[in-house]
C-alpha cells in the first residue's frame, strides 16, 4: 500500500505530518524526503499523526528515528500521536517508545508543545 503524506504547518514552526498507509522500504524514503523539507533550524516541533498507518518496517523505524535525532540536535521536539496497536507493538518490541513522546491525540500533543515553546521563550528572555 502506498504512503500518503500531508504536512500541515501549524504555528511557530510546528508541523503536523499526517500519514496514511504503510511505511516500508519503498515509502520510508518518501517520508524522509518530506521531513527533510520541513526540518531546519527554525523548526520547533514535528508531530507524526500515525492514526491511519497500518504497517511500519525497520526502514520506517529508521526514518522516524532519523527525524527524532535530527530534531533533538536542533533542540526541537518530536512526537507521535494516535498509534495503532500493531504499530505501537513494533515500537515496543524494538524498545524505542521510551525515547519518543507519544500522545493520544493532537490536542494533547499541542498542549505539550505549547508548554515547551513557552518555557523556551521564557528561558531566552532571562
- Per residue in 6-51, pLDDT (tens digit) is 999 988 899 999 999 999 999 999 999 999 999 999 999 999 999 9
Q: What is the pLDDT of residue 106?
A: 79
pLDDT at 112 over 90: no
Task: Give a yes or no: residue 46 inside a domain.
Answer: yes
Name the domain count of the chain.
Answer: 1
**Residue that the C-alpha cell 508541523 belongs to:** 15
Mean model confidence pLDDT for the chain: 86
Task: Give a yes or no: residue 39 inside a domain.
Answer: yes
How far apart CA 50 and CA 11 sit, in angstroms, is 20
Contact present, 45 and 78 (Cβ < 8 Å): yes
Task: Give a yes or no: residue 8 inside a domain.
Answer: yes
CATH number at residue 111: 3.30.750.24
Of residues 48, 51, 47, the one with CA closest to residue 20: 51
How far apart CA 54 and CA 123 sit, in angstroms, is 40
Amino acid at each position: 500500500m502506498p504512503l500518503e503524506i500531508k504536512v500541515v504547518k501549524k504555528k511557530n514552526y510546528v508541523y503536523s505530518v499526517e500519514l496514511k498507509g504503510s511505511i516500508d522500504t519503498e515509502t520510508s524514503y518518501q517520508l524522509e524526503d518530506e521531513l527533510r523539507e520541513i526540518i531546519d533550524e527554525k523548526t520547533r516541533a514535528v508531530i507524526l499523526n500515525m492514526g491511519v498507518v497500518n504497517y511500519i518496517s525497520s526502514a520506517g523505524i529508521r526514518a522516524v528515528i532519523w527525524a527524532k535525532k535530527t530534531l533533538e540536535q536542533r533542540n526541537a521536539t518530536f512526537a507521535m500521536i494516535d498509534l495503532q496497536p500493531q504499530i505501537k507493538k513494533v515500537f515496543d518490541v524494538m524498545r524505542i517508545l521510551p525515547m519518543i513522546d507519544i500522545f493520544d491525540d493532537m490536542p494533547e500533543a499541542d498542549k505539550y508543545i505549547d508548554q515547551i515553546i513557552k518555557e523556551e521563550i521564557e528561558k531566552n528572555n532571562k
